[in-house]
A and B are shown apart, each in its own frame.
Chain A
Amino acid sequence: NAGVTQTPKFRILKIGQSMTLQCTQDMNHNYMYWYRQDPGMGLKLIYYSVGAGITDKGEVPNGYNVSRSTTEDFPLRLELAAPSQTSVYFCASSENRGSYEQYFGPGTRLTVT
């Protein structure tokens, strides 16, 4: 099992550009999550999904979009990148919500200049 994989590992965007952060898990988990972590801070939930076709907003969803067409994939879309979106993005999955452990990917470090 590869677990949770994320691509790319690093990316530099110019203000106003768009990109998609990819996340794939091979554990057949229903729940998937996107977090962002700013320097020296904890993780904040952007969006989450409880299964294919079902997504919902987390604490900081503005400026992002998600889709979940399959159990395995949960891409995060940034439209019109802004410097405030400079952060490390982590994708995670879990068998269930809350009471089951989340498995995290290695993260994508994004810089918007």
Chain B
Amino acid sequence: LAKTTQPISMDSYEGQEVNITCSHNNIATNDYITWYQQFPSQGPRFIIQGYKTKVTNEVASLFIPADRKSSTLSLPRVSLSDTAVYYCLAATGGTGGGADGLTFGKGTHLIIQP
């Protein structure tokens, strides 16, 4: 089962900053938080990954508080093309962990309006 909980859907407008929060109350010490984006009829695409504090890349930022029970994906100045489903995963890195955490929940359907 997915180890994370996200809102089913969110709306925003072009040019706004969008924050999507993911809850992972039972995250394990070795788990990393990874976010993916999926457009219709395509496979998911990696956005960003982190373990704690803040990670930023060219498309997004990921904020993870000290207790690691939640995380927030931040998309700056969204455009219509950011309309997609966003998935949050908490999975163990390295060679351990088996299949635990490698199930994508329903994700958050983000709709960006003009």
Main secondary structure of the interface of B (DSSP, over half): loop
Please, could you name 5 A-B residue pairs with CB atoms under 8 Å apart, sorted by A? A40-B106, A43-B44, A97-B95, A97-B97, A99-B94
Name the interface residues of B36-76: CB closer than 8 Å to any CB of A. 36, 41-46, 49
Residues of B within 8 A of A (CB): 1-2, 31-32, 34, 36, 41-46, 49, 87, 91-95, 97-99, 101-107
Q: Which residue of A is nearest B31, CB measured?
A: A98
Residues of A within 8 A of B (CB): 4, 33, 35, 40-45, 48, 50, 56-59, 90, 92, 96-107
Q: Which residue of B is nearest A41, CB measured?
A: B106
Decide if A103 touches B102 in the complex (CB within 8 Å): no
Decide if B93 touches A99 in the complex (CB within 8 Å): yes
Decide if A35 touches B104 in the complex (CB within 8 Å): yes
Decide if A104 touches B45 in the complex (CB within 8 Å): yes
CA distance A59 to B103 in the complex (A): 8
Decide if A58 touches B102 in the complex (CB within 8 Å): yes
**A residues within 8 A CB of B91?**
97-99
**A residues within 8 A CB of B101?**
98
Decide if B93 touches A98 in the complex (CB within 8 Å): yes
